[in-house]
Amino acid sequence: MKTLTVEEAGAGLGQWVERALAGEKIQISQGDSIIELRPASAVTPDESETLPPLEALRRLQEESSVTPEQAERYRREVRKERLAAEARCPA
């Protein structure tokens, strides 16, 4: 893993993008904050609308720092809210 300052990253941005695309973990720091330079998953708007909830959670967890426990807790909360909404408005 390579950690750079904003100035270092800016000076050689093309190089760092290439390395990130090749799979290397590149981090950029500014003060106490750190971001990662990595490829984003390509999802078209139509695809995101039809994405099954569990797949959406899997991708969210994969692309962020969400732990499996946090993802499961979120899934339960969403299910509880959905069931409550269905109870209020029967089909």
CATH architecture of the domain with residue range 1-39 = 3-Layer(aba) Sandwich (3.40)
pLDDT of residue 91: 57
Distances (CA, A) of 70 to 27, 58, 75, 78: 24, 12, 9, 12
| pTM score of the predicted model | 0.45
CATH 3.40.1620 positions along the chain are 1-39
Low-confidence ranges of the chain (pLDDT < 50): 48
Helix (H) or strand (E) run with residue 91 in it:
none
List helix spans (H) across 1-91.
6-11, 13-21, 45-49, 53-62, 68-88
Contact 50, 57 (CB under 8 A): no
**Amino acid 15: pLDDT:** 92
Would you state the pLDDT for residue 49? 64
